[in-house]
Structure 1
Amino acid sequence: MPTRNSSGSTATKNPPGNQTPNTPDINESEIARLKVDELRDRLRSRGVTDTADMKKDDLVNALIKAMKGSSRATGGSGASGSSGGGVRTGSHTSSSVRYSQEITSVDDEAERPGRSLVTTDHDVIRQWAEARKGVPCTVDGTEHDGHAGVLRFDFPAGGREDRLREISWEDWFDAFDRRRLNFIYQEERSDGKQSNFFRLESPDREDG
């Protein structure tokens, strides 16, 4: 039964357990017990920055919100889906990211042919690659700590590159999110023909 504080209002701060239906991975009371640095680290891994001035309650609410968004995007299962975050920024955010049109869902369209686009949305990236018969790959020999190494797409129509090894979409997106990468790409060239141009950039490292 809810308790009442000295002003007579119902106290609901950090009730035990999971307060959000269909989100088995979110436990509000467990999140509330995390230290401030742990909260900031978890938010950073989800692409949420500018948390330096946030108090603990704000950090807790921000993390819960980010996790809810990710859970809805994956159907609550934890499987790969939309990343739940926008374009990632950091100390090495490139001019390419800043001047690209942000795409946040498969319903968004480029403003014009040849427009540089940027996204972190899993569905957008997968749809773009599959429309070009692209296969998620990693460069052999670059794996580390059990995770995929340098990420690439292989376009079989152009001939397979020797060092590319096909991996699952789940592994590709796991590495993409762990490294806080942005996907910069084109839908069409300026002449209106389909473009296969893309690159991956990290806002935290000069070399991506």
Structure 2
Amino acid sequence: MIVDDHPVVRDGLRGMFHGVADIEVVAEAGDGHEALARARAERPDVILMDLRMPGLDGVGAIERLRAEHPEIRVVVLTTYDTGADVSQALAAGVAGYLLKDAPREELQAAVRTAAAGGRVLAQRITSQLMAGLGPRSATAPSPRELEVLRLIARGAANKEVARALLISETTVKTHLKHVFAKLGVDNRAAAVVAAMERRLI
């Protein structure tokens, strides 16, 4: 499903997938509210989601989708590459973050990767985020710390992580503190990006 408030953009994206044997555009939406309604009706495997839209914006829609349809994979497709936008999207649990200047082949590959359960980030986004990271520790996160990080990457809050792993929120925070130190980062979004880049999650 394609979600963007500009009809011309939706037309262009639909054209990029026209005739592709293994990808079918089953629905379109012009804002977050419409996206939620169409997702309930069509149950797409992957949603290409713009961030800046009237009414319910992309991040708000992603958070609702993750709660209602965790099986649907969302890939952000936007013109905005600021740290705040990327961090909010990653914290909401997206499967990918691409920019609208991505070539046709990259978009198609991103949809396939997301549908298969993988994650994808635009190279420019990865480079920007990694450039701001500090020196990494040689120590890799423990299996338990990676469990916490995987749940964080799916958009879970500390309370949800604690409930899922049957531990306290204080323990979750301790695990995250250790993860940040080992990956050389200082926030959740950067930890997810660093772990993805190192293929830890």
TM-score over 0.5 for the alignment?
no
